[in-house]
Every structure is written in C-alpha cells, then in structure tokens.
A and B are shown apart, each in its own frame.
Chain A
C-alpha cells in the first residue's frame, strides 16, 4: 500500500481536537465516578448510639453493678455486635452514672470489691475508687466514664 493520504490540515486539526476532547471527557468522568466510589465508601458516618444497658430495678443505690452491653457495630455491609462491660452506679434517685470496666493501663477488665469499695484490676494491681479515680498501681488515667441516662426505668448508655 502506498503512503496513506491525510485530509486537509485544518480539518485534520479539528478532528484531532474532537477525538482528544471526547476521549479526555469520557476518561475524566469515569475517573471522577470511580474515584469517588473508591475513596468514599460510606456516606453515613459511623456514630455512637444510645444502647440499652439494663433497668433501674437491677441496680442498688451507690453500688457499681457490672452490666454486659451488646453494642451494634456497623462496618460497611458487615454488622456485628461487640460485647462491652460497663459499671452502672445509681445514686438512689433518678441519676445513673456509668464507668467503662476497661482498665486504663493495658485494658484488662476491672472488678468491684464491695468490702474495700474500690475497683481492682486483676492484671497488674491497679486500684480505682468508686468514681473511677486512680488510687494506686500502674493505671495512667481514671476509668473512662460513659454517658448514661435513665428513660422510663431503663438505663441507656452511649457507646
């Protein structure tokens, strides 16, 4: 075959510009769509929610009572429930405070000692008082407090 001939230079330029523009346009739209798709998995931000933790009837005034709370965790399309222990402390009236049972040192679960009226960690001997302040031992911070509220005899905590 002989050397192929071209259309007139002016026309050639217009056609070339058309091809480039359309190709770039389609490519850019695809890139934008797929980029958004890959970078932003979920529009709904994972958030804490109020979780049912027990009823007032289960509590004794001013004694921390351990409750295992089942916390729903939504991880994309995967739903699971984490079990988390909290101590509920009822003031005898309408007020309930909640403390996380997770030791601030290395994360063991603390236990309430009714005689000494203190929380004791079984792992490295951390001790906290009834409001979660460190009394002795390695824990660097007090027990984390958890927002709690009473609604119609039910205790809800925010986890």
Chain B
C-alpha cells in the first residue's frame, strides 16, 4: 500500500496537494466563528449532490413536472428524504450564509486587502437567492406557480428595462412551458457553473490573503488548519447536517394542487426568505411600489457591497466602528422583523388534507354521473385519483360535457346539468389527486352536495365560491338554525327586501334543516 502511494505521489504529487489544502497557517485565536465558511461549503456540496440526483427523475414540462415530483416524493426509494434534504438545504444555506456575512461584517474582515473577496461573497449571496427563486418554480404546483408569477411581476416594476427583464425571465407571453424549461436550465446548468467559478475564486482569494482572524492580533504563533480548526469545522458541520437530516426526515412540505394558471383565486405565498421583501411591498402605495420592491433593496445591497470603501478606519474592533455596527444592527433587525411580520401576516395555507365543501359535494356529482364506470383500475380510463388533473377547468368541463371529444364511441355520456356541477367535480378530482377520500357522514355529504349545487355560486366558503352573496365561512356567528331555515325557505318572508331566491320549493325540508344546522356549526 505504502509503495503504491509513494508511486502515485511521485507522479501526481497528492501529498503536496494535501499539505496545500490542509496546512494553511491560521492566525492565533481563530475560533468557532470562523467555521461558517466550511459549513457553507458542506451545505453547497449537499445541495449539488441531491440536486444532481433529483434530475434523474424530474421532467421539466408543465404536463409532467408535477407528476414527476410527486413520483419522487411518493414512489422512489428515499425520494422523500432526498427531496427533503434539497428543500431544507436551501433554507439552511440561506441562514448560514446570512450568519457568515454577519460574521465578516462584525469582524471587519472585508477591510483591505480583502475587498474582492467581499465582493465575490456578495455575488455568491445573490447567486444563492437566484437558485432559491428558480428552484421554487420546478415542482409546478399552485404554490410554485403563483409565487413565480409574483416574482416576475416584481421584476416588471423596475423602472428601466423591467418589462424586458420580465419577458426574458418568462420566456413566453405568460408563465408557462417556456418559463419552466428556462428556469430549470438556469437552476441546473447556468447558475451552478457560475457558482463553482465564484466559489473557487472566493476560496483562492481567501487562501491568497489568509483569513483575517480575530479583530485584535493575539500573541502566539500561527497554527495549521489541520487538525485543530478542521476539527472545529467538522463539529459544526456535523451539528448542522444532523439538524438538516432531522428536517428532511419529515420530507419537504407536501405538494399543493397542480399549477392552474386559470385559477386566479389562489393567494400566492412566497418562501420564507422572500417574506421580508413581500412584507416591505405592503407598506408602499401602488405608485411607490418600485421604491419598495426594487430601489430600497438595491440601495441596501450597494451599500453593503461598498462597505470596504465606506468603513476605512484602522481598527477592526466593533467598538471602534460605531456607525457601521449601528447600520448593520438596524439592517439586520429590519430584515428579521420584516420577515417575522411577513410570517405572521402570511395568508393562511389551509390544511392540505382538509376537504373543501365544494370537493365533498363534487363526490355526489361524480357518483351521480357514473364517472367511475369507466374511470376504474383496469378499465377503459384511468381511475379518477390517477388522472393527472393538470388541465384547466375549462378542458375538464369540456371533457365531462362532451366526452365523445376525448373518448370516441363512449356510449353513455354523463349528464351534467350546470357549470357548478362541473366545478364541484373538478374540485373533487383535484382533491382526490392529493389524497384518498376520507369519508364523511352521509348527511354531511348530502349537505355538501346541496351547497356545491345551489349556494357556492353566490357565497364563499373558506375562500372558495362566488361573491354575489355574503361570505358564509363563519355564518354561525350571526344567526341561529331557525333563522337560517326560514331564510333559505323564503328570504322574502324574513326580509321583504331580500334579493336571494327562495329555495323552499327546490330543496327538501329535511335538507334545508341539515343545511341550517351546518351553517350554524360554522363559527
């Protein structure tokens, strides 16, 4: 073995390489604060590895992206874990990056001659945010799609060339197939290439100048990186990796419904690291939005980049640099509190497993229309839960009202009467694609069917429904069951000016009773 290594070393010189890698002299007093860079390297390596492996199964087309991500999460061995590592790895990376940046600022490590190292670090920060942005779209669910629409619209705000930038980012006229392939290419080819270049540059510069070390030079001799500092790095890396593994063990957050560009009712929610920016936007009136979304962050970034030229004192100790320290504390507080406020205000996501009333009602429609006669395992069409409902509601509406178009020769076209029934059916099938029907008491199903058919066109329930009538999400807070019964049977008898039609003749009294009970229970 030894002779083999000797032979190899004589040709490759790996022992010299090893000593170059590991014997870097460090100033005395280099401590735990200086481990963050290595942690970042480790996290980057994990992102690159898991990302590379995820591409084995991912398909970047609107028709299949969602299905392929779901396949990874549900079918592939360890798929949930790998996706979880990649998902939470991004968040870890951003947190550690922020800490690293803070450490550099606190220690004044950007001081000459390390300005270029500092600038390359700022570029890396932007690059990592670019990865986060482009990666977010790839699962192609509602969350991904609408967050991307918002980001691109923010880009459009930029005064000069905003529209141009947005159209380049979009690829096509709207966020769609061309956007997806474009962002995928950025995420897996262009940005990684840039990342490797910048990381190498950052490290070479770091090695060339040596690390800055503690703010005040300590007495003593420099010591080599290996093994003392390397052990510190390793300990922190171990800690971070175990934490990341614990997050990933539970898997990345479940996918939402597949992206539906026609569903304008969806409320976009950005990933947490963009919440601050999102929150900032809320404080600016429409005309000044540019200022909040583009100008302010740009100024902040430029100031940060210019730090080595702004802060030119002799001492690196924080107490000798009060202005920079104050600015950084204010800046960090602003980012943290904006993010926290954004977190508190973020639109509710609704539990992905909760079944909206329309979807429950849709089951009644599906049963009545005999959909499962053909949509069954081993039959002429895929079972409903397996049909990829990546198509628009219009397409599905067309399919259910004229299946001849889709399956020529179908002998029994389902008889669907109204758009509302179609909408309920679509809602049911979409929900089914996310998880099996949990089952509800027959009376609840019956009531949901009535709501899906008669009420939801004008009234909203949990954010889904029409706006002609009042929102009934919390209907039970206002009236009692008897009032509802009388009102639904004949609104004019309760209030002569009522505009709602009477349902006493269309809905059986027992069902109106049940409906009244249901509404009262909504508090």
Q: Residues of A at under 8 Å CB distance from B? A: 1-2, 4-7, 12, 15-16, 18-19, 22-23, 26, 29-30, 33-34, 36-44, 49-52, 70, 72, 76-79, 81, 156
Given A77-B68, A79-B386; A7-B234 close (CB under 8 Å): no
Is chain A's binding surface mostly helix, strand, loop or mixed? mixed
B234, A50: Cβ atoms closer than 8 Å? no
B237, A26: Cβ atoms closer than 8 Å? yes
Q: Name which residue of chain A comes closest to B233, CB basis.
A: A19
Q: Which residues of B contact A5 (CB under 8 A)?
A: 221-224
Given A4-B221, A41-B76; A50-B378 close (CB under 8 Å): yes
Please give the number of chain B residues whose Cβ is less than 8 angstroms from any Cβ of chain A in the complex: 47
CB distance from B54 to the nearest CB of A (A): 8
* Cα separation A19 to B26 with both chains bound (whole Å): 18
Given A18-B234, A22-B234, A42-B76; A1-B380 close (CB under 8 Å): no
CB distance from A82 to the nearest CB of B (A): 13
Q: Which residues of A contact B221 (CB under 8 A)?
A: 2, 4-5
Given A4-B221, A34-B50; A22-B237 close (CB under 8 Å): yes
CB distance from A4 to the nearest CB of B (A): 4
CB distance from B319 to the nearest CB of A (A): 28
Q: Which residues of A contact B222 (CB under 8 A)?
A: 1-2, 4-5
Q: Which residues of A contact B238 (CB under 8 A)?
A: 22, 26
CB distance from B31 to the nearest CB of A (A): 15
Q: Which residues of B contact A37 (CB under 8 A)?
A: 53, 56, 76-79, 81-82
A79, B382: Cβ atoms closer than 8 Å? yes
* Cα separation A26 to B49 with both chains bound (whole Å): 13
* Cα separation A68 to B149 with both chains bound (whole Å): 45
The answer to the question of B434 belonging to the interface, with a C-beta cut-off of 8 Å to chain A, is: no
* Cα separation A23 to B56 with both chains bound (whole Å): 26
A4, B380: Cβ atoms closer than 8 Å? no
The answer to the question of B227 belonging to the interface, with a C-beta cut-off of 8 Å to chain A, is: yes
Q: Residues of B at under 8 Å CB distance from A? A: 23, 25-26, 42, 46, 49-50, 53, 56-57, 59, 64, 67-68, 70-71, 75-79, 81-82, 85, 210, 221-224, 226-228, 230-231, 234-235, 237-238, 241, 245, 377-380, 382, 386, 388
B25, A1: Cβ atoms closer than 8 Å? yes
CB distance from A28 to the nearest CB of B (A): 12
Across the interface, A36 reaches (CB within 8 A) one of B71, B78, B382, namely B78
Q: Which residues of B contact A26 (CB under 8 A)?
A: 42, 237-238, 241
A52, B378: Cβ atoms closer than 8 Å? yes
Q: Name which residue of chain B comes closest to A34, CB basis.
A: B53
Q: Which residues of A contact B26 (CB under 8 A)?
A: 4
Q: Name which residue of chain A comes closest to B79, CB basis.
A: A37
* Cα separation A108 to B75 with both chains bound (whole Å): 36
CB distance from B480 to the nearest CB of A (A): 50
Across the interface, A7 reaches (CB within 8 A) one of B25, B210, B228, B386, namely B228
CB distance from B84 to the nearest CB of A (A): 10
Q: Which residues of B contact A30 (CB under 8 A)?
A: 46, 49
Q: Which residues of B contact A33 (CB under 8 A)?
A: 78, 81-82, 85
Q: Which residues of B contact A81 (CB under 8 A)?
A: 382
A-B contact pairs, 7 of them (CB 8 A): A5-B222, A16-B231, A18-B235, A34-B50, A37-B56, A41-B77, A77-B57
A77, B77: Cβ atoms closer than 8 Å? no
Q: Which residues of A contact B76 (CB under 8 A)?
A: 37, 40-43
Q: Which residues of B contact A1 (CB under 8 A)?
A: 25, 210, 222
CB distance from A5 to the nearest CB of B (A): 5
Given A18-B234, A37-B79, A38-B53; A7-B223 close (CB under 8 Å): yes
Q: Which residues of B contact A49 (CB under 8 A)?
A: 377-378
Q: Name which residue of chain B comes closest to A72, CB basis.
A: B382
Q: Name which residue of chain B comes closest to A154, CB basis.
A: B379
A34, B82: Cβ atoms closer than 8 Å? yes
* Cα separation A29 to B222 with both chains bound (whole Å): 35
Q: Which of A29, A38, A79 counts the most chain B CB atoms within 10 A? A: A38
A77, B25: Cβ atoms closer than 8 Å? no
Q: Which residues of A contact B380 (CB under 8 A)?
A: 52, 70
Q: Which of B77, B82, B382 counts the most chain A CB atoms within 10 A? A: B77
CB distance from B269 to the nearest CB of A (A): 25
Across the interface, A76 reaches (CB within 8 A) one of B25, B71, B386, namely B71
CB distance from B37 to the nearest CB of A (A): 16
Q: Which residues of B contact A22 (CB under 8 A)?
A: 234-235, 237-238
Q: Which residues of A contact B388 (CB under 8 A)?
A: 79
B234, A23: Cβ atoms closer than 8 Å? yes
* Cα separation A31 to B82 with both chains bound (whole Å): 11
Given A4-B23, A4-B221, A34-B82; A19-B234 close (CB under 8 Å): yes
CB distance from B410 to the nearest CB of A (A): 12
Given A19-B226, A43-B75, A52-B380; A77-B70 close (CB under 8 Å): yes
CB distance from A159 to the nearest CB of B (A): 9
CB distance from B417 to the nearest CB of A (A): 28
Name the 6 nearest CB pairs between A and B, nearest first.
A77-B71, A15-B227, A40-B77, A4-B25, A15-B231, A4-B224
Across the interface, A44 reaches (CB within 8 A) one of B59, B75, B241, namely B75
* Cα separation A146 to B416 with both chains bound (whole Å): 38
Q: Name which residue of chain A comes closest to B374, CB basis.
A: A52
* Cα separation A42 to B57 with both chains bound (whole Å): 11
Across the interface, B77 reaches (CB within 8 A) one of A43, A52, A70, namely A43
Additional pairs, 7, CB under 8 Å, beyond known A33-B78, A37-B56, A41-B76 = A1-B25, A4-B222, A5-B224, A16-B227, A37-B79, A51-B379, A70-B380
